[in-house]
Structure 1
Amino acid sequence: MIIFGTKGYLYQLAILTLVCGRCGNPAAHTLRKHVTKFSLFFIPLFPVSTKYTTQCTFCGAEERVTKEAADHLLTQSAAGQGPHISAQPQQQYRP
């Protein structure tokens, strides 16, 4: 008997200050990475899919972003003050 399946992992990459595309408020957004891995006998072997999302902490709206956009947001965060709420001027982000 072979036991296999998938398991999801959620990684919080950064918290950024952006203007929300839904509510229009400058608020903190969490940048998250969702990875689904194939597992065999409860051991995760390789990733099947990877998705990046941002979620507004004010209204809860979640938007899916591309890997390139997520990398761009991470480099902007790292150039500022690290992976936390930045004191930089707010920037409008719409994928």
Structure 2
Amino acid sequence: MIIFGTKGYLYQLAVLTLVCGHCGNPSAHTLRKRVTKFTLFFVPLFPISTKFATQCTFCGAEQRLTAPQAEQLQFQAASAPPSAQRVRPGE
């Protein structure tokens, strides 16, 4: 008997102050990475999919991002002071 399946992992990459595209409020957004891995006998072996998204802490709206967009926002969070991070995601 072979036991296989998938397991999801959620990583918080950064917290940015952005203007939400849903509610329009400037609020904190978490940049998240969700990785789904194939498991064999409960041991995660390799990633099947990787998805990036930002989530507004004010209204809870989530916006999916591409890998280059997520990388750009992560770089922006690491290099800019907190007061200079007011941009819309995806720009």
TM-score, length-scaled by structure 2: 0.94
What residue in structure 2 maps to residue 30 of structure 1? 30
TM-score, length-scaled by structure 1: 0.91
> Structure 1 residues 89, 4: CA separation in 2 closer, same or farther (over 3 Å shift)?
closer
Matched, 1:92 2:88: yes
What is the Cα-based RMSD across aligned positions, in Å? 1.2
Cα distance in 2 for partners of 1:14, 1:79 equals: 12
Matched, 1:70 2:66: no
* Identity %, equivalent residues: 65
Superposed CA offset, 1:15-42 (max 9, x none):
0000000000000000000000000000
Runs (5+) with no aligned partner, structure 1: none
Matched, 1:57 2:53: no
1:48 aligned partner, one-letter code:
I
Cα distance in 1 for partners of 2:22, 2:4 equals: 39
What residue in structure 1 maps to residue 9 of structure 2? 9
Runs (5+) with no aligned partner, structure 2: none
> Structure 1 residues 72, 89: CA separation in 2 closer, same or farther (over 3 Å shift)?
closer
2:86 aligned partner, one-letter code:
Q
How many residues are matched? 91
Please list every run of at least 4 consecutive aligned residues from structure 1 whose deviation after the TM superposition is greater than 4 angstroms: none
